[in-house]
């Protein structure tokens, strides 16, 4: 903190010499000379130009003026100008040397003096703030500032207040125009003089020879007697005549393991293998905890959990998928294998690594994999993604539905895909639907390759959803996909939800009357349309009240659950209502 006391000569006489003799005036002058110089130095750093021209008695008042205007720096002020306009902005500087014109930053015009009278508030149009506004002295009428910290107490509390209010959220920093969009990240290097922990380097080198016994230290410092017994936590070492040999053997095994070739970047780094020059792997690849198959886009958060979910799905669905996978595998093998060739070596290596490290990963234990499996997976992923880009509501899905049903035990969920979902649940599935794609490839890939990423199994969809969020340019066909077998007994497809549509305009005075509805197969709830307020009679679409109510206020919700679903199936005409027979104004579904 650069605190300097502004030494003002004793006050009251405002240069009028009423209470002071000349002698004192002289002394003050001298005083002010020095003051002036120091003032100059100080104030220049803040931006106000020059200062402290000490001319006679007025210097005293000038000093005060300068002091007060300095207090205003950074403070929001209101400036009235001759024309009657009022500007508000952040006080930046004043030309203390000359005639005290002022400079505001981020200034806005809040009242335009050139207009006669006041405009009504509804018409007042805001103006863009100007970054710097210079108001010359002759325009200046007055400057008003509220809550200015003038004396020391004000300042003392100020920094704390300022800092407290200055909680910069990341988005404020990142979006501020002052800051570049991308910061050049530099690796951290310890300071030159950072010798605080010199032992850190050594401390893990020889775990048995640390020259420092933590228990001893603890006891010394705090008088705590330790009951630590290492053998409680690890295998008891037999220290006998064979110790030497056992040790040698252990070292050998350790060396073997550590020297193992690994394609896993993290393991490699730990073992000191430096392959970073070879590949264009950035820090993200090196240190991110996101598991990814080489060549696949980052699809973020799902991946880790998806691996686990994959495993669950395989447990549940694994068997049923096998045949489907296998045959599809056979068909698609050529395509994916060709891709394997094209892929950069690192990718192949990494897929290999999947195989190697599989035993370590619980999710991977369940699968019986072929080396190309990861590729088949990524292949299917890209296809799925393409599908997403196209239109997952498209007809191509229609073909696969029966397939899907035989495979998946959740026909309703798959059905939603084609419906262009608008409900929240459906939007969830949209998200996973990005992974939906062709069921055969996806299911099979799921059963096979656990190592791959992103299942949205959490949504209760078939495991096929796992693949979708990854993108790759590989073929999407899964050579291991289960062979398709038509299941003629599968439940026929019915959508469980319809998209919510706004009601079309209806005429007034349309009424529903209580009707005797013939019991129709799919309707298992009483269809009783009460005589309520007028609602669109000819439109049988009753919206599920659980769905976000998005229709116009004229809609009448009949709280009987999702009746519209059935009505969708039934078709509009089947809703019978008594007179008046309305002209059909609605839409055909």
Partner 1 sequence: MEGEEFAVGCFLSIKTTLGDEFEGQIISFDRLSNILVLQEGLESGPRRNIRLLKANHIKEFSLLRQDEDPLDVKKCFLDLTSLQAREDSAIRQAEADSERFGVGVTSEAQTLFDALSKTLPVRWDKTVIVVMNEVRVSSPYLPESVSGGTPAANERVRKVLEFERKRMQTRGTSQ
Task: Report the residue from 23, 146, 236, 244 that binds partner 1 according to the rule CB under 8 A.
Answer: 146
CB 369 within 8 A of CB 518: no
Per-position x/- string for 157-196, each x denoting binding to partner 1 as judged by CB under 8 A, each - no binding:
xxx--x--xx-x---x--xxxx------------------
Stretch that binds partner 1, among 120-128, 237-245, 346-354, 507-515 (CB under 8 A): 120-128
Q: Cα separation of 17 and 13, whole Å?
A: 6
Task: Report the residue from 140, 308, 356, 490 that binds partner 1 according to the rule CB under 8 A.
Answer: 140
Q: Which two tokens stand for residue 359?
A: 């035993």
Which of residues 113 and 458 has its CB atom nearest to partner 1 in the complex?
Answer: 113
Q: Which residues contact 98 (CB under 8 A, 6 or more apart)?
A: 49, 137
Q: How far is the CB of 540 from partner 1 (least distance, A)?
A: 20
Q: How far is the CB of 462 from partner 1 (least distance, A)?
A: 26
Tokens 């369940």 — which residue? 366
Which of residues 267 and 422 has its CB atom nearest to partner 1 in the complex?
Answer: 422
Residues 327-356 that bind partner 1 (CB under 8 A): none
Q: Does 7 bind partner 1 (CB under 8 A)?
A: yes
Bond into 580 cis (ω within 30): yes
Q: Does 12 bind partner 1 (CB under 8 A)?
A: yes
Q: How far is the CB of 461 from partner 1 (least distance, A)?
A: 22
Q: Which two tokens stand for residue 577?
A: 């209502």
Burial state string for 283-296 with b = 16 or more CB within 10 A and e = fewer than 16: eeeeeeeebbbbbb
Task: Report the residue from 251, 550, 576, 578 that binds partner 1 according to the rule CB under 8 A.
Answer: 550
Stretch that binds partner 1, among 117-125, 285-293, 378-386, 441-449 (CB under 8 A): 117-125
Q: How far is the CB of 279 from partner 1 (least distance, A)?
A: 37
Residues 392-451 that bind partner 1 (CB under 8 A): 422
Q: Does 114 bind partner 1 (CB under 8 A)?
A: no
Q: Cα separation of 31 and 227, whole Å?
A: 74
Adjacent-strand bridge partners of 89? 77
Q: Which residues contact 282 (CB under 8 A, 6 or more apart)?
A: none
Which of residues 59 and 299 has its CB atom nearest to partner 1 in the complex?
Answer: 59
Q: How far is the CB of 454 from partner 1 (least distance, A)?
A: 25
Task: Report the residue from 70, 382, 408, 456 that binds partner 1 according to the rule CB under 8 A.
Answer: 70
Q: Which residues contact 121 (CB under 8 A, 6 or more apart)?
A: none
Stretch that binds partner 1, among 64-72, 193-201, 205-213, 402-410 (CB under 8 A): 64-72
Which of residues 164 and 204 has its CB atom nearest to partner 1 in the complex?
Answer: 164
Q: Give burial (CB, 10 Å; 0-12/13-18/19+) of 64.
A: middle
Task: Report the residue from 150, 237, 246, 576 that binds partner 1 according to the rule CB under 8 A.
Answer: 150
Q: Does 5 bind partner 1 (CB under 8 A)?
A: yes
Q: Is 483 left (phi over 0), alpha (psi -120 to 50) or beta?
A: beta
Q: How far is the CB of 1 from partner 1 (least distance, A)?
A: 6
Q: How far is the CB of 27 from partner 1 (least distance, A)?
A: 16
Which of residues 47 and 580 has its CB atom nearest to partner 1 in the complex?
Answer: 47
Per-position x/- string for 20-59, each x denoting binding to partner 1 as judged by CB under 8 A, each - no binding:
----------------------x--xx--------x--x-
Long-range pairs for 348-356 at CB < 8 Å and ≥24 separation? 349/263, 349/294, 350/263, 350/293, 350/294, 350/374, 351/293, 351/294, 351/375, 352/263, 353/262, 353/263, 353/264, 354/293, 354/449, 354/451, 356/262, 356/263
Nearest to 347 by CA among 285, 434, 270, 259: 285
Q: How far is the CB of 542 from partner 1 (least distance, A)?
A: 18
Total residues contacting partner 1 by CB under 8 A comes to 88
Q: Cα separation of 16 and 19, whole Å?
A: 8
Per-position x/- string for 217-236, each x denoting binding to partner 1 as judged by CB under 8 A, each - no binding:
--------------------
Q: What is the CA angle 437-438-443, rounded to 5?
A: 100
Which of residues 9 and 561 has its CB atom nearest to partner 1 in the complex?
Answer: 9
Task: Report the residue from 20, 28, 32, 62 that binds partner 1 according to the rule CB under 8 A.
Answer: 62
CB 404 within 8 A of CB 414: yes
Adjacent-strand bridge partners of 95? 49
For residue 154, the 8-state DSSP code is H
Q: What is the CA angle 457-461-464, rounded to 5?
A: 80
Q: How far is the CB of 169 from partner 1 (least distance, A)?
A: 10
HSE, side-chain direction, 13 A CA sphere, residue 459: 27
Which of residues 124 and 584 has its CB atom nearest to partner 1 in the complex?
Answer: 124
Which of residues 148 and 389 has its CB atom nearest to partner 1 in the complex?
Answer: 148
Q: Which two tokens stand for residue 469?
A: 């969020």
Q: How far is the CB of 444 from partner 1 (least distance, A)?
A: 34
Q: Does 69 bind partner 1 (CB under 8 A)?
A: yes
Q: How far is the CB of 408 from partner 1 (least distance, A)?
A: 28
Q: Does 145 bind partner 1 (CB under 8 A)?
A: yes
Residues 80-99 that bind partner 1 (CB under 8 A): 80, 82, 84, 90, 92, 99
CB 565 within 8 A of CB 521: no
Task: Report the residue from 64, 276, 312, 410 that binds partner 1 according to the rule CB under 8 A.
Answer: 64
Q: How far is the CB of 7 from partner 1 (least distance, A)?
A: 7
Residues 264-283 that bind partner 1 (CB under 8 A): none
Q: Does 132 bind partner 1 (CB under 8 A)?
A: no
Q: Which two tokens stand for residue 8?
A: 């003002």
Q: What is the CA angle 170-172-173, rounded to 5?
A: 65
Nearest to 321 by CA among 403, 444, 239: 444
Nearest to 213 by CA among 221, 239, 196, 243: 221
Q: How far is the CB of 152 from partner 1 (least distance, A)?
A: 4
């Amino acid at each position: 903190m650069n605190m300097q006391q502004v030494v003002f000569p004793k006050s009251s006489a405002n240069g009028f010499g009423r209470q002071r003799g000349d002698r004192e005036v002289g002394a003050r002058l001298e005083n002010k000379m020095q003051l002036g110089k120091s003032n100059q130095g100080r104030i220049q750093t803040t931006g106000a130009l020059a200062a402290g021209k000490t001319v006679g008695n007025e210097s005293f008042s000038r000093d005060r003026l300068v002091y007060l205007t300095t207090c205003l720096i950074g403070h929001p002020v209101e400036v009235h100008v001759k024309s009657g306009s009022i500007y508000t902005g952040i006080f930046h500087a004043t030309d203390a040397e000359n005639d005290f014109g002022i400079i505001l930053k981020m200034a806005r015009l809040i009242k335009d003096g050139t207009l006669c009278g006041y405009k009504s508030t509804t018409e007042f149009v805001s103006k863009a703030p100007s970054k710097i506004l210079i108001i010359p002295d002759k325009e200046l009428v007055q400057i008003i500032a509220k809550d200015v910290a003038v004396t020391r107490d004000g300042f003392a509390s100020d920094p704390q207040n300022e800092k407290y209010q200055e909680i910069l959220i990341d988005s404020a920093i990142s979006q501020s125009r002052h800051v570049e969009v991308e910061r050049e990240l530099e690796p951290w290097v310890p300071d030159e003089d950072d010798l605080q922990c010199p032992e850190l380097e050594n401390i893990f080198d020889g775990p048995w020879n640390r020259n420092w016994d933590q228990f001893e230290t603890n006891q010394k410092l705090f008088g705590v007697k330790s009951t630590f017994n290492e053998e409680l936590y690890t295998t008891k070492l037999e220290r006998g005549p064979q110790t030497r040999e056992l040790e040698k053997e252990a070292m050998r095994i350790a060396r073997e393991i550590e020297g193992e070739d690994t394609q896993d970047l993290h393991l490699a780094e730990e073992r000191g293998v430096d392959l970073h020059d070879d590949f264009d792997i950035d820090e993200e690849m090196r240190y991110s905890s996101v598991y990814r198959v080489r060549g696949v886009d980052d699809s973020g958060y799902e991946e880790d959990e998806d691996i686990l979910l994959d495993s669950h799905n395989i447990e549940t669905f694994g068997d049923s998928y096998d045949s489907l996978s296998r045959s599809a595998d056979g068909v698609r093998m050529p395509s994916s294998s060709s891709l394997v060739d094209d892929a950069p070596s690192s990718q192949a290596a990494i897929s290999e690594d999947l195989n190697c490290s599989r035993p370590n990963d619980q999710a991977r234990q369940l699968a019986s994999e072929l080396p190309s499996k990861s590729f088949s997976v990524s292949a299917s992923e890209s296809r799925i993604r393409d599908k997403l880009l196209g239109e997952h509501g498209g007809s191509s899905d229609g073909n696969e539905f029966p397939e899907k049903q035989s495979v998946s035990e959740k026909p309703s969920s798959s059905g939603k895909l084609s419906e262009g979902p608008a409900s929240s649940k459906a939007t969830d599935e949209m998200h996973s639907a990005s992974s939906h794609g062709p069921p055969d490839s996806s299911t099979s890939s799921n059963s096979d390759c656990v190592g791959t990423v992103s299942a949205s199994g959490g949504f209760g969809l078939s495991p096929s959803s796992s693949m979708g969020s990854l993108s790759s340019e590989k073929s999407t066909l899964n050579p291991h996909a289960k062979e398709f077998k038509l299941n003629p007994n599968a439940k026929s497809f019915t959508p469980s939800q319809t998209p919510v549509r706004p009601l079309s305009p209806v005429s007034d005075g349309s009424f529903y009357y209580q009707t005797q509805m013939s019991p129709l197969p799919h309707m298992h709830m009483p269809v009783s349309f009460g005589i309520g307020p007028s609602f669109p009679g000819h439109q049988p679409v009753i919206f599920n009240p659980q769905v976000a109510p998005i229709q116009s206020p004229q809609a009448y919700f009949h709280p009987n659950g999702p009746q519209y679903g059935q009505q969708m199936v039934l078709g509009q005409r089947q809703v019978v209502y008594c007179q008046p027979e309305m002209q059909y104004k609605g839409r055909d579904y």
